[in-house]
Chain A
Amino acid sequence: MNRMPPVLPHRFISRHVPALAQLPSAVPLPPVTSPGRWRPSLVWALPALVVLLGVVLAIRTFRQRGSTVTITFATADGLEPNKTTIRYKSVVVGIIKRIDLLENRSGVAVTTELSPQMTPLLVEDARFWVVRPRVSATGISGMGTLLAGAHVAFDAGVSPTSRREFVGLESIPSTVSERRGRRFTLRAENLGSVDVGSPLYLHRFQVGQVSSVALAADGNATLLEVFVDAPYNAHVTADTRFWNASGVDLTMDARGIKLDTQSLASMITGGVAFETPALDGPGESPTTPLSAAPGSTFPLFADRTAALRAPSRGGRTFLLSFKRPPGALMPGSPVELLGLEVGEVLGVDSDFDARTAEPRTLVTLTLRQERIRLRQSSAPASLSPPVPSDGITEMLTGLVQRGLRGRIRTSNVLTGRRYVALDIVPRAPRSTVALDWSRQQITLPSFEGPSDDLVESMTRLVAKMDKVPVEELVREGTLATRQMRRTFEQTSLLMGQLSTDVTPRLTALMGQTQKTLGSVESTLDKDAPLQRDLRTALKELSKAGRSVGSLAGYLERHPQSLIWGK
């Protein structure tokens, strides 16, 4: 097949280069069976292999290509392209490829590439947030990011709708989607020291935490989202009360001073506690309360007392109207029914009647039904049907008829704390208010008799004493004393004169008088003629009187004798 290069004849070489003739001749080798047609050299397998490898690699890269996700953040603080990772459960699942400013410069758009396993998790409610080191009283988080720099954390969603563009969270969500439990919204007037991550307590046992804090849309309140962990969320019912368990709760009420705290951590970082008041009082069959629906909104009370004081949903409140100012009566003051504390004052408001132009005090109060044990008597079935008969209504109706009146009394003289007493007032004026049980707020008759309050009596006494013109009195007294002294002096002078001038004359007078009396005595002596005459005269007179008396008696019996004679 191949033509060999022409070789110069051996003779020619030997003749011109004799030394070459001495060279040994090559030995023949067994011929190799050469293939009939041209076969590509095996070495070409190498580039072919490389190409194959490249193709395989390209296909694999293409198939493993992850999802490109754009996340919007307010700031790219700590984020770096091709360096900052996306982590899911702390496993690196992606990397930031690019960071661009948004068109309106309100934030940054972070373009990330996530591994293909993450693709099914990229749904509408997936969440992204930046993990930076955070130090708080409850603990330190993101410690690893202190040295390694921030990373973007990712929490998978459950929504079926796939999504590739997200708005990153600015705060770290305290809960992840896998955590079982329920979210509830609390509406608070004041956030206090509660923050994201603050613990949530039930009987001082932590059962959850505050997952987010936001201002309500109307700006009038703050909305806290709390997350109650799975087994405990059943304890949250529609009647559960939440209160701010932050710090120290110092209360001073009619019973004295009370200090209440939750755990030390909550004292510092704030916390929320909740409790469901036992509504089923003794005697009633305990009903299993339905746990509240997820996302329900509850009010967040300032403290436990306020929380438990609040009327239960659909509970009745009572109104009392007074002419007198309430004094130290305030929300939380106790309400006593016949001397037993059964409720609390909810609010004290003023009510100005434009017609009569006189201010009145409106006291709203609630009665705790569980505090009133009712002996189930044979209830009179004659009550009108729309009236909800729950025992209390009957009891109060009866009591009001017997003279139950509400009044404000003082419980603690020192602090001036007051309470509302519902007492039976004997000889009370007839109540002008009718009990309307069909309403949610029932006006009870009030009584404004003379106050038996010690403080008030003393106040009145002091006021009266105030009115006494002490200075004038003293002045007049001084004047009187001076005059009296003068009188005394004159009297002593007079007495002196008397002893010197009058006494001798008096002695003489006495002698004369004695003499006169002697003569009088002689005149009036028993045997004196005057005496005797007088006695006979008197005898005659009595005789005449007797006859006149008999005449009068006869005339009475026989008046006709005046005309007809005897």
Chain B
Amino acid sequence: MTNAGRALTAIKLGLVSCRACGLLSNRGTLWQGGHHVAGCPRCGRPLVSRKQNSLDRTTALLAAAALLFVPANLLPMMTTATLLRQKSDTIMSGVVTLWTTGSWSLSTLVFVASVVVPALKIVGLTVLVVSTRRCSTWRQLERTRLYRLLELVGRWSMLDVFVMALLAALVRSPLVSVRVEPGAVAFVGVVVFTMLASISFDPRLIWDADPSPSRTRTRTRKGLP
């Protein structure tokens, strides 16, 4: 975006909108002095122009999610014990089993929801965080669209978790039993942390990358060790 730097922003105008009641107020000089110094004249909520520590939080949550992604895929998700046999499945072995037994559509769905989406979220958020940290003006519009996509598909990851929770709760008979294994916990961790990370990411930071680097850099570098 060539005109990114020239856009008139609320920050430039000294205006801030309350995130609770939506009242737009004039922050005036109260901005100086640090965080949480200005309150909403209507509801009293501290006024902030951008999400607090957005990049830090996103980075931390993303790191946790990425770490958990390894055991979530390596450890067995659940154990199905029938009269005939006992079978422990990881995500991938479940996908393969579904595929070999002919349930291609279901296999694809599980693969997309459980492997592709979390991986996409982790990779996508990493791209967003890294580029935003570097105040990159590279493909800002595409990055925003990417963020919207991540928010959209993120909820599908919970599909697996719901299926497992339902199975484990419903299938209780002496012949068949479904047991949730540690891999499922890790997977829930991945899903939850990626969701939190995408929530904590403030897409407006993408557009804060201004042609005048000195200003934005000081803004975005804040909080870095």
Contacts and interface: CB of A to CB of B under 8 A. Distances in A.
Given A43-B200, A147-B83, 18 more contacts: A5-B215, A7-B28, A10-B28, A24-B23, A24-B41, A24-B42, A26-B40, A27-B38, A27-B40, A31-B34, A41-B57, A43-B61, A50-B64, A54-B71, A57-B182, A83-B87, A147-B84, A148-B84
Given A32-B35, A41-B57, A148-B85, A26 B68 contact: no
B60 A26 contact: no
Given A3-B218, A5-B11, A10-B14, A43 B60 contact: yes
9 contacts: A4-B31, A7-B13, A25-B25, A26-B27, A26-B41, A29-B37, A29-B46, A31-B34, A50-B189
Contacts of B56: 41, 43-44
Interface of A: 1-8, 10, 13, 17, 20, 23-29, 31-32, 34, 38, 40-41, 43-44, 46-47, 49-51, 54, 57, 83, 85, 147-149
Interface string B180-202: 00100000010001000000100
Given A13-B13, A20-B13, A26 B223 contact: no
Interface residues of B, number: 56
Contacts of A47: 60-61, 63-64, 67
Interface string B188-225: 01000100000010000000000000010011001101
A27 B41 contact: yes
Interface in B9-25: 11-16, 23-25
Contacts of A27: 38-41, 44
A3 B219 CA distance: 8
B26 A10 contact: yes
Contacts of B71: 54, 57
A546 B112 CA distance: 177
Contacts of A51: 67
Interface in B72-107: 83-87
A26 B30 CA distance: 7
A23 to B, nearest CB: 4
Nearest to A38: B225
A4 B29 CA distance: 10
Q: What secondary structure prevails in chain B residues at the interface with A?
A: mixed
A9 to B, nearest CB: 9
B174 interface: no
Contacts of A20: 13, 15, 26
B129 to A, nearest CB: 13
Contacts of A26: 16, 25-28, 30, 38-41, 47
Contact of B26 (A1, A2, A23, A57): A23
A8 B70 CA distance: 49
B64 A6 contact: no
Contacts of A38: 223, 225
Q: Sorted from nearest, which 7 A-B pairs have the closest CB atoms?
A: A26-B38, A47-B63, A7-B14, A47-B64, A43-B60, A46-B64, A24-B41
A29 B36 contact: yes
Contacts of B11: 5, 7
B25 A2 contact: no
B108 to A, nearest CB: 25
A31 B35 CA distance: 8
A50 B41 contact: no
B39 A29 contact: yes
A326 to B, nearest CB: 67
A342 B222 CA distance: 117
B3 to A, nearest CB: 18
A42 to B, nearest CB: 9
Contacts of A149: 84-85
A441 B215 CA distance: 123
B182 to A, nearest CB: 8
A269 to B, nearest CB: 31
A4 B32 contact: yes
B53 interface: yes
A345 B11 CA distance: 124
A147 B83 CA distance: 8
